[in-house]
A and B are shown apart, each in its own frame.
Chain A
Amino acid sequence: QQQVKQSPQSLIVQKGGISIINCAYENTAFDYFPWYQQFPGKGPALLIAIRPDVSEKKEGRFTISFNKSAKQFSLHIMDSQPGDSATYFCAASKNGNQFYFGTGTSLTVIP
């Protein structure tokens, strides 16, 4: 059973546009929801993370929106740039132990 479902699988956005990636989770015991960015041949890099006691967290151009009742969270990338082109993964964990990852979203930002 997929604990974290991610969509879309791929996304193409014009430079300056908004990229939105969505995730849904099953386990209501999850208490930590990070987003990772991965470039080809590299390990995932922590981008931004949220805990369920807040509904939104913003860091620069990156914002996480969190809907606890719907068990959904999303990543918004404002003013998308070609350098943002990468694969993005959402994840969820309980007590920072086992992290469950989504299947990834390949983002392409067109100049």
Chain B
Amino acid sequence: ETGVTQSPTHLIKTRGQQVTLRCSSQSGHNTVSWYQQALGQGPQFIFQYYREEENGRGNFPPRFSGLQFPNYSSELNVNALELDDSALYLCASSLSQGEQYFGPGTRLTVT
């Protein structure tokens, strides 16, 4: 059984740029949730995708968008990057709305 994987591991971007982060869900899981974790804080829910449809969204602006593909992998896109977007971005997969299993995260630094 393959766990949740994310790419890239680290990323450095400049303010105003756009970034795409990727997540492969655990085998057999059909739901992917994305979280932002600032340093020293708990993860904050961005949105969830279930069977390729958005299934809930947290308090994040529209420049945070996502996709889920037929194989249930997912992308998180962030446009017009701001300094405050610097964080660890976590992807979690689950079977329907069951237990969530997290990937190792992508560390994004915006300069």
Contact = CB atoms under 8 A, between A and B. Distances in A.
A83 interface: no
A60 interface: no
Contacts of A42: 104-105
Contacts of B92: 43, 99
Contacts of A6: 42
Given A43-B102, A46-B99, A98 B41 contact: no
Contacts of B103: 43
A34 B102 CA distance: 13
Nearest first, the 5 closest Cβ-Cβ pairs linking A and B are A96-B97, A101-B42, A43-B102, A97-B56, A98-B45
Interface of A: 6, 34, 36, 41-46, 49, 89, 91, 93, 95-104
